[in-house]
Structure 1
């Protein structure tokens, strides 16, 4: 067997690892650990504060720099946040202007609550195209996965 053929499995492993790294970051999500978490223009406490988010607001991790996370939100806005200000509690945010929270995972089920655009919902369970959530008011029900963003 030639040297090139013997090295093929190792080359495949290296390439698979390189392609998997960006996917791993793209899939990592965090949420604000408390109200008033500041998102900044750069990875520094002295950087311009772009906006603040409240507890549970989900963010997708794009990259890391020391204690800082480069993140994006459901609208695609990007900023930096201190990783100590986040946690791994699963949350969703409504992409719909009027989101029906239903008693069961069915479009014909009774509506138990409503949420609006940008409202944060605590993720309880996932079932196919449906997500069981808890609203800020404490109501529990199901929403269509197509109408929310997060994890």
Structure 2
């Protein structure tokens, strides 16, 4: 019984940290500044386009400390973010397919750093929509986000 309690005591904090780490947002609006510090007077480090997915690592008031698939980026003002799921293509190119699966017809090619809106998921595949409205399926391993 004591070993079960010890295992639970270890597993519970791990599951909480994983849940916290999985907190994602995306950029709302055309272009949003990512700042060095959580204040509008701070230097702008990056400018991110609409829909760009970000993982939240910390919160300070209405500011979010964020990272992308490559590295920590800085701070973004929370009201300029959204909970609409998006993905960024991390592979050089990715096939946009009619159905989930590598044997499905290719509808088009997604380019590296292209941002797509996530419409749903099925296993290791994500159903996405491009800016122009084209929808299809992409292998999640070729993208980052949620």
Q: TM-score, normalised by structure 1?
A: 0.86
RMSD of aligned residue pairs (Cα, Å): 2.0
- Counterpart for residue 120 of structure 1: 115
Which structure has greater strand proportion? 2
The 1:138–1:66 alpha-carbon spacing in structure 2 relative to 1, beyond 3 Å, is: same
- Shift of the 15–129 alpha-carbon distance from structure 1 to 2, 3 Å rule, reads closer
1:20 deviates by: 4.2
Secondary structure in structure 1 of the residue aligned to 2:91: coil
The answer as to 2:138 corresponding to 1:143 is yes
Q: Does 1:94 align with 2:89?
A: yes
Which is greater in Rg?
A: 1
Select the residue among 49, 68, 91 that pairs with 2:44.
Answer: 49
CA distances 1:73-129 after superposition (whole Å, capped 9, x unpaired) = 121232100000001001111011111101111212221121111110100110001
Taking the aligned partners of 2:139 and 2:65, their CA distance within structure 1 comes to 28
TM-score by length of 2: 0.89
Aligned pair in 2 of structure 1 residues 12, 100: CA closer, same or farther (>3 Å)?
A: closer
Any unmatched runs of 5+ in structure 1?
A: none
Matched residues in 2 for 1:144 and 1:36: separation? Answer: 27
